[in-house]
Amino acid sequence: MVSTVRLAVIPGDGIGPEVVAEALKALDAAVAGTEVSFEQTPFSLGAARYLETGDVLTGDDLAAIRQHDAILLGAVGGVPGDPRLAGANIERGLLLRLRFELDHYVNLRPSVLYPGVTSPLANPGDVDFVVVREGTEGPYVGNGGAIRVGTPSEVANEVSVNTAYGVERVVRYAFAAASARPKKKLTLVHKTNVLVFAGSLWERTVDAVAAEYPDVAVDYLHVDAATIFLVTDPARFDVIVTDNLFGDILTDLAGAISGGIGLAASGNINPDGRFPSMFEPVHGSAPDIAGKGIADPTAAILSVALLLDHLGHPELAARVQRAVAADIAGRGDARRSTSEVGDAIVARIDVHETQRI
């Protein structure tokens, strides 16, 4: 059946537009010759737009984005500490607002150590796990405030919000994901020994849902210990379920052990399908390398694979993933530009049908 997907494209700031350009080339190649096509609408959003117009995300922007089936985002945010962006809070006003308004309660972040990738770990073993990070609650909701700001007696609060409704739905998603994977293991990561109220809610919810999934082995790690095991024994993980903040931190580490942040893809999923889900690399706008043409676009390209899978085209997703795996296997130490990596992956997507990897 012929289908046209309405795709909102937010290239964003820094290396965002550079990697999104390559991701779109890969998307075109993946759907070429199929009955799936994408109708793209670009949205100019991010720090650059704010500096030009003073707008971060208007009601009209949001309404227009909602009309799409999916979103591809590069990265947003300027140079950390740039005083011109002090009042804007691009990350909260744009990125987090999209995640909250579009109810992206699952932030899905797979980590796979592809053959040929150099991990900084001596013996990484079989790294193939996925972090299911809660995406709409936790300390990122903006529930806080400060008094006596700028004085020696300043007090600043940032409250973590955890609701039974919010925790249960993401835990259910994580169990279903674990049950569908070969290892069938779920690890709750939290800090229940000190964050006792939220920790207890997460623990009780996991225990309750676990009763419905006797096939899934469940364990628990405090987040500090989880960082140890991600480095010493990442193969022990299968599905990690955790809150918004811990998941943010753990997935940069997960990216680093699986070959670098330039390979780490993610999906901000609204599993109910009421709103468009949003796919983006785990990394940020990397102002330190922006404009140099050296950003690795692989994470953005793998985010396209997650997008295709989410839209019900696992065979097209696999086409992209196989091309990436083949490119990675042959990379060696040669440094390539952003577009050279994109072109090489696209070439492998194109030959996919004749040269199965």
Ligand X SMILES: NC(=O)C1=CN([C@@H]2O[C@H](COP(=O)(O)OP(=O)(O)OC[C@H]3O[C@@H](n4cnc5c(N)ncnc54)[C@H](O)[C@@H]3O)[C@@H](O)[C@H]2O)C=CC1
* Residue 36 bridge partners (DSSP): 3
C-alpha 316/C-alpha 308 separation (Å) is 6
Residue 243 binds ligand COI (CB under 6 A): no
C-alpha 61/C-alpha 57 separation (Å) is 6
* Residue 158 bridge partners (DSSP): 144
Site for Mg ion, residues 198 to 217, rule: CB under 5 A: none
φ, ψ of residue 40 in degrees (nearest 5): -95, 140
The token pair at 199 is 């920790």
Of 213-221, 236-244, 277-285, 325-333, the segment contacting ligand X by CB under 6 A is 277-285
Which active-site residues does the annotation give?
140, 191, 224, 248, 252
Residue 299 binds ligand X (CB under 6 A): yes
Residue 83 binds ligand X (CB under 6 A): no
Sorted by sequence, the CB contacts under 8 Å of residue 155 that are 6+ apart come out as: 146, 147, 148
Cα separation values, 22 from 29, 198, 283, Å = 11, 41, 15
Cα separation values, 12 from 15, 43, 91, 96, Å = 8, 8, 11, 14
C-alpha 282/C-alpha 104 separation (Å) is 15
Among residues 22, 248, 280, 296, the one that binds Mg ion under rule CB under 5 A: 248
- Whose Cβ is closer to ligand COI: residue 36's or residue 242's? 242
Check if the beta carbon of residue 316 is closer than 8 Å to that of residue 281.
no
Residue 203 binds ligand X (CB under 6 A): no
- Whose Cβ is closer to Mg ion: residue 205's or residue 266's? 266
Of 50-58, 219-227, 279-287, 307-315, the segment contacting ligand X by CB under 6 A is 279-287
Of 49-57, 125-133, 238-246, 289-297, the segment contacting ligand X by CB under 6 A is 289-297
**311 contact choice in ligand COI, Mg ion, ligand X, none (CB below 5 to 8 Å, kind-dependent):** none
Among residues 22, 248, 296, 327, the one that binds ligand COI under rule CB under 6 A: 248
Residue 243 binds Mg ion (CB under 5 A): no
- Residues making up the annotated binding site are 99, 109, 133, 224, 248, 252, 284-296
- Residues making up the annotated binding site for substrate are 99, 109, 133, 224
- Residues making up the annotated binding site for Mg(2+) are 224, 248, 252
Residues found near ligand COI in the complex (CB under 6 A)? 91, 95-96, 248, 282
